[in-house]
Structure 1
Amino acid sequence: MSQTQSELKLLTFDEFIEWYPENSEVRYELHDGVIVEMPKSKGEHSDLAGFLIEELLFTIREMGKRGIWTIPKESIIKPYRDKSGYEPDIIVLNQETIDTETRWKKESVIHNASSVKLIVEVVSTNWQDDYYDKLRDYEAMGIPEYWIVDYAALGGRVFIGSPKVPTIFVCELIDGEYQMTPFRGTNLIVSPTFLQLNLTAQQVFDSVI
Protein backbone atom coordinates (compact mmCIF):
# COMPACT_ATOMS: atom_id res chain seq x y z
CA MET A 1 0.00 0.00 0.00
CA SER A 2 1.16 3.47 -0.74
CA GLN A 3 -0.43 4.93 2.40
CA THR A 4 1.06 4.33 5.84
CA GLN A 5 -1.30 3.76 8.76
CA SER A 6 -0.65 7.25 10.08
CA GLU A 7 -1.49 8.75 6.69
CA LEU A 8 -4.54 6.59 6.11
CA LYS A 9 -7.44 8.63 4.75
CA LEU A 10 -10.28 7.09 2.86
CA LEU A 11 -10.35 8.66 -0.58
CA THR A 12 -13.10 9.04 -3.11
CA PHE A 13 -12.54 7.96 -6.70
CA ASP A 14 -12.08 11.59 -7.81
CA GLU A 15 -9.48 12.19 -5.09
CA PHE A 16 -7.67 9.04 -6.21
CA ILE A 17 -7.56 10.22 -9.83
CA GLU A 18 -6.32 13.64 -8.75
CA TRP A 19 -3.60 11.98 -6.64
CA TYR A 20 -2.51 9.44 -9.29
CA PRO A 21 1.07 10.31 -10.38
CA GLU A 22 1.32 11.28 -14.04
CA ASN A 23 3.41 8.87 -16.16
CA SER A 24 3.76 6.53 -13.19
CA GLU A 25 5.60 3.27 -13.84
CA VAL A 26 3.77 1.77 -10.87
CA ARG A 27 0.12 0.70 -11.07
CA TYR A 28 -2.25 1.74 -8.33
CA GLU A 29 -5.84 0.88 -7.53
CA LEU A 30 -8.33 2.23 -5.04
CA HIS A 31 -9.87 -0.39 -2.77
CA ASP A 32 -12.59 0.81 -0.41
CA GLY A 33 -10.98 4.23 -0.14
CA VAL A 34 -7.41 2.96 0.29
CA ILE A 35 -4.72 3.40 -2.36
CA VAL A 36 -3.13 0.03 -3.14
CA GLU A 37 0.15 -0.39 -4.99
CA MET A 38 -0.42 -3.35 -7.25
CA PRO A 39 2.15 -6.16 -7.29
CA LYS A 40 4.59 -5.64 -10.14
CA SER A 41 3.84 -8.04 -12.96
CA LYS A 42 6.51 -10.72 -13.05
CA GLY A 43 7.70 -12.43 -16.21
CA GLU A 44 5.06 -15.14 -16.26
CA HIS A 45 2.21 -12.72 -15.55
CA SER A 46 3.39 -10.36 -18.29
CA ASP A 47 3.97 -13.19 -20.78
CA LEU A 48 0.48 -14.56 -20.25
CA ALA A 49 -1.21 -11.16 -20.53
CA GLY A 50 0.75 -10.43 -23.69
CA PHE A 51 -0.21 -13.78 -25.19
CA LEU A 52 -3.88 -13.21 -24.47
CA ILE A 53 -3.77 -9.72 -25.97
CA GLU A 54 -2.30 -11.15 -29.18
CA GLU A 55 -4.97 -13.87 -29.35
CA LEU A 56 -7.79 -11.43 -28.67
CA LEU A 57 -6.53 -8.94 -31.26
CA PHE A 58 -6.27 -11.73 -33.83
CA THR A 59 -9.85 -12.81 -33.06
CA ILE A 60 -11.04 -9.20 -33.24
CA ARG A 61 -9.60 -9.00 -36.77
CA GLU A 62 -11.20 -12.34 -37.67
CA MET A 63 -14.56 -11.02 -36.49
CA GLY A 64 -14.24 -7.88 -38.61
CA LYS A 65 -14.07 -5.65 -35.53
CA ARG A 66 -10.60 -4.19 -36.07
CA GLY A 67 -10.65 -0.50 -35.16
CA ILE A 68 -14.03 -0.94 -33.51
CA TRP A 69 -12.99 -3.10 -30.56
CA THR A 70 -9.63 -2.01 -29.15
CA ILE A 71 -7.33 -2.91 -26.27
CA PRO A 72 -5.82 0.21 -24.68
CA LYS A 73 -2.52 0.11 -22.83
CA GLU A 74 -4.02 1.76 -19.75
CA SER A 75 -7.49 2.38 -18.35
CA ILE A 76 -9.15 2.81 -14.99
CA ILE A 77 -12.56 1.37 -14.23
CA LYS A 78 -14.86 3.37 -11.98
CA PRO A 79 -17.43 1.07 -10.37
CA TYR A 80 -20.63 2.36 -8.83
CA ARG A 81 -19.05 2.44 -5.38
CA ASP A 82 -17.31 5.80 -5.11
CA LYS A 83 -14.33 4.60 -3.11
CA SER A 84 -12.92 2.03 -5.54
CA GLY A 85 -11.16 2.12 -8.90
CA TYR A 86 -9.44 -0.69 -10.82
CA GLU A 87 -6.90 -0.97 -13.63
CA PRO A 88 -7.59 -4.27 -15.43
CA ASP A 89 -4.83 -6.40 -16.91
CA ILE A 90 -6.78 -6.42 -20.20
CA ILE A 91 -9.87 -4.50 -21.27
CA VAL A 92 -11.55 -4.62 -24.66
CA LEU A 93 -13.33 -1.35 -25.42
CA ASN A 94 -16.08 -0.63 -27.91
CA GLN A 95 -15.12 2.48 -29.87
CA GLU A 96 -18.69 2.83 -31.11
CA THR A 97 -19.83 3.91 -27.65
CA ILE A 98 -16.64 5.42 -26.22
CA ASP A 99 -18.05 8.92 -26.76
CA THR A 100 -20.29 8.33 -23.75
CA GLU A 101 -17.17 8.25 -21.59
CA THR A 102 -16.76 11.90 -20.62
CA ARG A 103 -13.51 11.22 -18.73
CA TRP A 104 -11.82 8.91 -21.21
CA LYS A 105 -9.76 11.35 -23.27
CA LYS A 106 -8.25 13.23 -20.33
CA GLU A 107 -8.17 10.62 -17.57
CA SER A 108 -8.53 7.16 -19.23
CA VAL A 109 -11.53 6.53 -16.96
CA ILE A 110 -14.31 4.12 -17.96
CA HIS A 111 -17.60 4.13 -16.07
CA ASN A 112 -20.17 2.78 -18.55
CA ALA A 113 -20.61 -0.94 -19.11
CA SER A 114 -21.70 -0.22 -22.69
CA SER A 115 -18.10 0.78 -23.46
CA VAL A 116 -16.72 -2.60 -22.38
CA LYS A 117 -16.82 -5.90 -24.25
CA LEU A 118 -14.51 -7.85 -21.96
CA ILE A 119 -12.33 -7.46 -18.86
CA VAL A 120 -9.55 -9.93 -18.02
CA GLU A 121 -7.77 -10.13 -14.68
CA VAL A 122 -4.69 -12.36 -14.34
CA VAL A 123 -4.63 -13.62 -10.76
CA SER A 124 -1.71 -12.62 -8.51
CA THR A 125 -1.07 -13.18 -4.81
CA ASN A 126 -3.93 -10.82 -3.98
CA TRP A 127 -6.35 -13.33 -5.52
CA GLN A 128 -9.28 -12.31 -3.32
CA ASP A 129 -9.52 -9.01 -5.19
CA ASP A 130 -10.24 -10.80 -8.49
CA TYR A 131 -12.57 -13.47 -7.12
CA TYR A 132 -14.57 -11.28 -4.75
CA ASP A 133 -14.25 -7.48 -5.00
CA LYS A 134 -13.80 -7.08 -8.73
CA LEU A 135 -16.29 -9.78 -9.61
CA ARG A 136 -18.88 -8.05 -7.42
CA ASP A 137 -18.17 -4.59 -8.83
CA TYR A 138 -17.94 -5.61 -12.49
CA GLU A 139 -21.19 -7.52 -12.08
CA ALA A 140 -22.91 -4.53 -10.47
CA MET A 141 -21.71 -2.29 -13.33
CA GLY A 142 -23.15 -4.67 -15.90
CA ILE A 143 -19.85 -5.62 -17.56
CA PRO A 144 -21.02 -8.37 -19.95
CA GLU A 145 -18.00 -10.66 -19.70
CA TYR A 146 -15.19 -11.02 -17.16
CA TRP A 147 -12.36 -13.56 -17.18
CA ILE A 148 -10.42 -14.65 -14.10
CA VAL A 149 -7.19 -16.27 -15.32
CA ASP A 150 -5.71 -18.23 -12.42
CA TYR A 151 -2.69 -19.78 -14.13
CA ALA A 152 -0.77 -20.38 -10.88
CA ALA A 153 -3.78 -21.88 -9.05
CA LEU A 154 -3.69 -19.27 -6.29
CA GLY A 155 -7.42 -18.95 -5.70
CA GLY A 156 -9.42 -20.55 -2.93
CA ARG A 157 -10.29 -24.25 -3.12
CA VAL A 158 -13.97 -23.35 -3.21
CA PHE A 159 -13.27 -22.00 -6.71
CA ILE A 160 -10.50 -24.13 -8.22
CA GLY A 161 -10.91 -27.37 -6.30
CA SER A 162 -8.66 -29.59 -4.23
CA PRO A 163 -5.98 -30.23 -5.24
CA LYS A 164 -5.79 -26.79 -6.77
CA VAL A 165 -5.38 -26.72 -10.54
CA PRO A 166 -4.88 -23.81 -12.97
CA THR A 167 -8.28 -22.55 -14.08
CA ILE A 168 -9.79 -19.87 -16.29
CA PHE A 169 -13.24 -18.67 -15.32
CA VAL A 170 -15.41 -17.04 -17.96
CA CYS A 171 -18.03 -15.01 -16.12
CA GLU A 172 -21.01 -14.19 -18.34
CA LEU A 173 -23.60 -11.68 -17.19
CA ILE A 174 -27.03 -13.33 -17.32
CA ASP A 175 -30.06 -11.60 -15.80
CA GLY A 176 -27.79 -9.27 -13.86
CA GLU A 177 -25.63 -12.01 -12.32
CA TYR A 178 -22.37 -13.62 -13.38
CA GLN A 179 -22.51 -17.28 -14.35
CA MET A 180 -18.98 -18.64 -13.81
CA THR A 181 -17.81 -21.39 -16.17
CA PRO A 182 -14.41 -23.00 -15.43
CA PHE A 183 -12.01 -24.08 -18.17
CA ARG A 184 -9.02 -26.31 -17.51
CA GLY A 185 -6.51 -28.39 -19.47
CA THR A 186 -7.57 -29.03 -23.05
CA ASN A 187 -11.01 -27.44 -22.54
CA LEU A 188 -11.70 -25.04 -25.41
CA ILE A 189 -12.50 -21.63 -23.89
CA VAL A 190 -16.05 -20.63 -24.76
CA SER A 191 -16.54 -16.86 -24.83
CA PRO A 192 -19.98 -15.36 -25.46
CA THR A 193 -18.33 -12.26 -26.93
CA PHE A 194 -15.47 -13.85 -28.88
CA LEU A 195 -17.33 -16.68 -30.56
CA GLN A 196 -14.51 -17.29 -33.03
CA LEU A 197 -11.86 -17.67 -30.34
CA ASN A 198 -10.00 -20.96 -30.86
CA LEU A 199 -7.97 -21.36 -27.70
CA THR A 200 -7.71 -23.95 -24.93
CA ALA A 201 -7.00 -23.21 -21.30
CA GLN A 202 -3.75 -25.20 -21.55
CA GLN A 203 -2.52 -23.07 -24.45
CA VAL A 204 -2.95 -20.02 -22.24
CA PHE A 205 -1.13 -21.67 -19.34
CA ASP A 206 1.69 -22.88 -21.64
CA SER A 207 2.39 -19.28 -22.66
CA VAL A 208 4.19 -18.75 -19.32
CA ILE A 209 6.60 -21.68 -19.76
Structure 2
Amino acid sequence: MTQSQAEPKLYSFDEFISWYPENSEVRYELHDGVIVEMPKPKGKHSTLTGSLIEQLLIIIRQMDKGGIWTIPRESIVKPKRDRSGYEPDIIVLNQEVLKAEPRWESESIIQNPESIKLIVEVVSNNWRDDYYNKLRDYEEMGIEEYWIVDYAALGGKKFIGNPKQPTFFVCNLEEGEYQMNRFTENTPIISPTFPQFNLSPQQVFAIAL
Protein backbone atom coordinates (compact mmCIF):
# COMPACT_ATOMS: atom_id res chain seq x y z
CA MET A 1 0.00 0.00 0.00
CA THR A 2 1.45 3.34 -1.04
CA GLN A 3 1.46 6.07 1.56
CA SER A 4 0.35 9.40 0.16
CA GLN A 5 2.42 12.46 0.86
CA ALA A 6 0.97 15.03 3.22
CA GLU A 7 -0.59 17.98 1.48
CA PRO A 8 1.40 21.20 1.98
CA LYS A 9 -0.10 23.74 4.35
CA LEU A 10 -1.93 26.49 2.54
CA TYR A 11 -1.59 29.98 4.00
CA SER A 12 -3.91 32.95 3.82
CA PHE A 13 -2.34 36.32 3.09
CA ASP A 14 -2.49 37.38 6.74
CA GLU A 15 -0.96 34.08 7.86
CA PHE A 16 1.82 34.61 5.34
CA ILE A 17 2.52 38.11 6.68
CA SER A 18 2.56 36.83 10.26
CA TRP A 19 4.95 34.04 9.24
CA TYR A 20 7.33 36.26 7.23
CA PRO A 21 10.69 36.40 9.08
CA GLU A 22 11.81 39.86 10.15
CA ASN A 23 15.00 41.19 8.52
CA SER A 24 15.06 38.20 6.19
CA GLU A 25 17.79 38.17 3.55
CA VAL A 26 15.57 35.89 1.47
CA ARG A 27 12.50 37.12 -0.39
CA TYR A 28 9.26 35.19 -0.18
CA GLU A 29 5.98 35.37 -2.05
CA LEU A 30 2.64 33.67 -1.55
CA HIS A 31 1.37 31.81 -4.62
CA ASP A 32 -2.14 30.35 -4.28
CA GLY A 33 -1.56 29.60 -0.60
CA VAL A 34 1.96 28.21 -0.98
CA ILE A 35 4.94 30.16 0.39
CA VAL A 36 7.60 30.34 -2.32
CA GLU A 37 11.23 31.31 -1.71
CA MET A 38 12.19 33.75 -4.44
CA PRO A 39 15.73 33.71 -5.81
CA LYS A 40 17.59 36.82 -4.69
CA PRO A 41 18.34 38.88 -7.82
CA LYS A 42 21.97 38.49 -8.84
CA GLY A 43 24.26 39.47 -11.67
CA LYS A 44 22.50 40.65 -14.82
CA HIS A 45 19.03 40.55 -13.25
CA SER A 46 20.12 42.78 -10.38
CA THR A 47 22.10 45.15 -12.62
CA LEU A 48 19.21 45.58 -15.04
CA THR A 49 16.73 46.20 -12.22
CA GLY A 50 19.01 48.84 -10.70
CA SER A 51 19.45 50.54 -14.07
CA LEU A 52 15.68 50.66 -14.65
CA ILE A 53 15.18 52.20 -11.21
CA GLU A 54 17.74 54.90 -12.04
CA GLN A 55 16.02 55.66 -15.36
CA LEU A 56 12.59 55.83 -13.74
CA LEU A 57 13.80 58.15 -10.97
CA ILE A 58 15.29 60.50 -13.57
CA ILE A 59 12.00 60.58 -15.49
CA ILE A 60 9.99 61.07 -12.31
CA ARG A 61 12.03 64.22 -11.61
CA GLN A 62 11.61 65.38 -15.23
CA MET A 63 7.84 65.00 -14.80
CA ASP A 64 7.96 67.13 -11.61
CA LYS A 65 6.72 64.12 -9.64
CA GLY A 66 9.76 63.93 -7.39
CA GLY A 67 8.62 63.61 -3.78
CA ILE A 68 5.18 62.51 -5.00
CA TRP A 69 5.99 59.31 -6.87
CA THR A 70 8.45 57.07 -5.09
CA ILE A 71 10.14 53.67 -5.53
CA PRO A 72 10.37 51.88 -2.18
CA ARG A 73 13.07 49.35 -1.41
CA GLU A 74 10.54 46.73 -0.34
CA SER A 75 6.79 46.26 -0.50
CA ILE A 76 4.26 43.45 -0.71
CA VAL A 77 1.28 43.71 -3.06
CA LYS A 78 -1.94 42.04 -1.90
CA PRO A 79 -4.12 40.95 -4.84
CA LYS A 80 -7.86 40.45 -4.50
CA ARG A 81 -7.44 36.70 -4.04
CA ASP A 82 -6.63 36.05 -0.38
CA ARG A 83 -3.98 33.37 -0.90
CA SER A 84 -1.44 35.36 -2.91
CA GLY A 85 1.05 38.13 -2.18
CA TYR A 86 3.86 39.45 -4.37
CA GLU A 87 7.01 41.52 -3.94
CA PRO A 88 7.64 43.20 -7.32
CA ASP A 89 11.12 43.84 -8.66
CA ILE A 90 10.13 47.51 -9.02
CA ILE A 91 7.02 49.36 -7.90
CA VAL A 92 6.27 53.06 -8.33
CA LEU A 93 3.93 54.42 -5.68
CA ASN A 94 1.91 57.63 -5.47
CA GLN A 95 2.58 59.02 -2.00
CA GLU A 96 -0.47 61.28 -2.18
CA VAL A 97 -2.68 58.17 -2.27
CA LEU A 98 -0.40 56.01 -0.14
CA LYS A 99 -1.67 57.72 3.01
CA ALA A 100 -4.94 55.82 2.62
CA GLU A 101 -3.20 52.42 2.69
CA PRO A 102 -4.12 51.00 6.13
CA ARG A 103 -1.19 48.56 6.30
CA TRP A 104 1.61 50.49 4.59
CA GLU A 105 3.23 52.17 7.58
CA SER A 106 3.26 49.07 9.78
CA GLU A 107 3.69 46.25 7.24
CA SER A 108 4.70 47.76 3.83
CA ILE A 109 1.56 46.23 2.28
CA ILE A 110 -0.12 47.72 -0.79
CA GLN A 111 -3.68 46.68 -1.59
CA ASN A 112 -5.27 49.66 -3.38
CA PRO A 113 -4.52 49.94 -7.11
CA GLU A 114 -4.75 53.74 -6.89
CA SER A 115 -1.51 53.70 -4.88
CA ILE A 116 0.40 52.06 -7.75
CA LYS A 117 1.57 53.91 -10.86
CA LEU A 118 3.66 51.06 -12.24
CA ILE A 119 4.83 47.53 -11.46
CA VAL A 120 7.87 46.00 -13.16
CA GLU A 121 8.83 42.33 -13.13
CA VAL A 122 12.21 41.29 -14.57
CA VAL A 123 11.70 37.75 -15.85
CA SER A 124 13.58 34.86 -14.23
CA ASN A 125 13.42 31.09 -14.75
CA ASN A 126 9.96 31.06 -13.12
CA TRP A 127 8.70 33.07 -16.09
CA ARG A 128 5.16 31.68 -15.90
CA ASP A 129 4.60 33.64 -12.68
CA ASP A 130 5.16 36.93 -14.51
CA TYR A 131 3.31 36.06 -17.73
CA TYR A 132 0.35 34.28 -16.16
CA ASN A 133 -0.25 34.59 -12.40
CA LYS A 134 0.97 38.12 -11.79
CA LEU A 135 -0.46 39.49 -15.01
CA ARG A 136 -3.83 37.98 -14.06
CA ASP A 137 -3.74 39.32 -10.50
CA TYR A 138 -2.41 42.78 -11.35
CA GLU A 139 -5.07 43.05 -14.04
CA GLU A 140 -7.80 41.96 -11.64
CA MET A 141 -6.62 44.52 -9.07
CA GLY A 142 -6.86 47.28 -11.67
CA ILE A 143 -3.19 48.32 -11.75
CA GLU A 144 -2.87 50.71 -14.68
CA GLU A 145 0.50 49.65 -16.05
CA TYR A 146 2.67 46.54 -15.75
CA TRP A 147 6.02 45.95 -17.46
CA ILE A 148 7.38 42.46 -18.17
CA VAL A 149 11.09 42.76 -18.87
CA ASP A 150 12.27 39.54 -20.51
CA TYR A 151 15.92 40.39 -21.29
CA ALA A 152 17.02 36.71 -21.37
CA ALA A 153 14.16 35.57 -23.63
CA LEU A 154 12.86 33.05 -21.11
CA GLY A 155 9.13 33.40 -21.76
CA GLY A 156 6.95 31.13 -23.86
CA LYS A 157 7.18 31.31 -27.64
CA LYS A 158 3.57 32.45 -27.88
CA PHE A 159 4.62 35.61 -26.02
CA ILE A 160 8.12 36.39 -27.35
CA GLY A 161 8.08 34.65 -30.73
CA ASN A 162 9.87 31.76 -32.38
CA PRO A 163 12.83 31.93 -32.40
CA LYS A 164 12.75 33.55 -28.99
CA GLN A 165 14.19 37.04 -28.60
CA PRO A 166 14.60 39.47 -25.70
CA THR A 167 11.32 41.32 -25.29
CA PHE A 168 9.91 44.23 -23.30
CA PHE A 169 6.15 44.25 -22.65
CA VAL A 170 4.13 47.28 -21.59
CA CYS A 171 0.75 46.05 -20.36
CA ASN A 172 -1.85 48.83 -20.22
CA LEU A 173 -5.24 48.48 -18.58
CA GLU A 174 -8.03 49.18 -21.09
CA GLU A 175 -11.64 48.54 -20.04
CA GLY A 176 -10.45 46.27 -17.26
CA GLU A 177 -8.12 44.15 -19.42
CA TYR A 178 -4.40 44.34 -20.11
CA GLN A 179 -3.31 45.08 -23.65
CA MET A 180 0.16 43.56 -24.02
CA ASN A 181 2.26 45.87 -26.17
CA ARG A 182 5.42 44.08 -27.33
CA PHE A 183 8.70 45.86 -28.00
CA THR A 184 11.90 44.34 -29.36
CA GLU A 185 15.30 45.42 -30.68
CA ASN A 186 15.44 49.13 -31.60
CA THR A 187 11.73 49.98 -31.37
CA PRO A 188 11.21 52.84 -28.88
CA ILE A 189 9.24 51.72 -25.82
CA ILE A 190 5.93 53.58 -25.41
CA SER A 191 4.61 53.98 -21.86
CA PRO A 192 1.45 55.98 -21.10
CA THR A 193 2.56 56.53 -17.49
CA PHE A 194 6.14 57.46 -18.41
CA PRO A 195 5.97 59.09 -21.87
CA GLN A 196 9.59 60.30 -21.54
CA PHE A 197 10.78 56.69 -21.32
CA ASN A 198 11.70 56.51 -25.00
CA LEU A 199 14.51 53.97 -24.78
CA SER A 200 14.48 50.88 -26.96
CA PRO A 201 14.67 47.35 -25.54
CA GLN A 202 18.17 47.07 -26.99
CA GLN A 203 19.23 50.13 -24.99
CA VAL A 204 17.56 48.83 -21.82
CA PHE A 205 19.03 45.33 -22.17
CA ALA A 206 22.53 46.46 -23.20
CA ILE A 207 23.58 46.68 -19.57
CA ALA A 208 22.66 43.04 -18.95
CA LEU A 209 23.42 41.25 -22.23
TM bucket normalised to smaller = over 0.9
- In the other structure, the counterpart of 1:135 is 135
Superposition pairs for residues 7-156 of structure 1, below 5 Å?
8-156=8-156
Aligned-pair RMSD on alpha carbons?
A: 1.0
2: CA distance, partners of 1:189 / 1:70: 21
Which 4+ stretches in 1 moved above 3 angstroms? none
Report the alpha carbon displacement of residue 198 of structure 1 after superposing the two structures with TM.
2.6
Q: Deviations over 1:111-139 (max 9, x none)?
A: 00000000000000000000000000000
* Residue correspondences, number: 205
Report the alpha carbon displacement of residue 106 of structure 1 after superposing the two structures with TM.
0.7
Does residue 208 (structure 1) correspond to residue 194 (structure 2)? The answer is no
1: CA distance, partners of 2:140 / 2:85: 14
Report the alpha carbon displacement of residue 7 of structure 1 after superposing the two structures with TM.
7.4
2: CA distance, partners of 1:76 / 1:117: 15
Segments of 5+ residues of structure 2 without an aligned counterpart are none
1: CA distance, partners of 2:198 / 2:126: 29
- In the other structure, the counterpart of 1:169 is 169
2: CA distance, partners of 1:142 / 1:93: 14
**Structure 2 SS opposite 1:131:** helix
2: CA distance, partners of 1:9 / 1:136: 24
2: CA distance, partners of 1:196 / 1:158: 29
Report the alpha carbon displacement of residue 200 of structure 1 after superposing the two structures with TM.
1.2
- In the other structure, the counterpart of 1:199 is 199
**Structure 1 SS opposite 2:131:** helix
Segments of 5+ residues of structure 1 without an aligned counterpart are none
Most deviating of 54-63 and 198-207: 198-207
2: CA distance, partners of 1:23 / 1:16: 15
Provide TM-score, normalisation by structure 2: 0.96
Report the alpha carbon displacement of residue 6 of structure 1 after superposing the two structures with TM.
4.7
**Structure 2 SS opposite 1:192:** coil
Q: Deviations over 1:151-192 (max 9, x none)?
A: 000000000000000000000000000000011111111000
2: CA distance, partners of 1:68 / 1:166: 32
Q: Whose radius of gyration is greater, 1 or 2?
A: 2
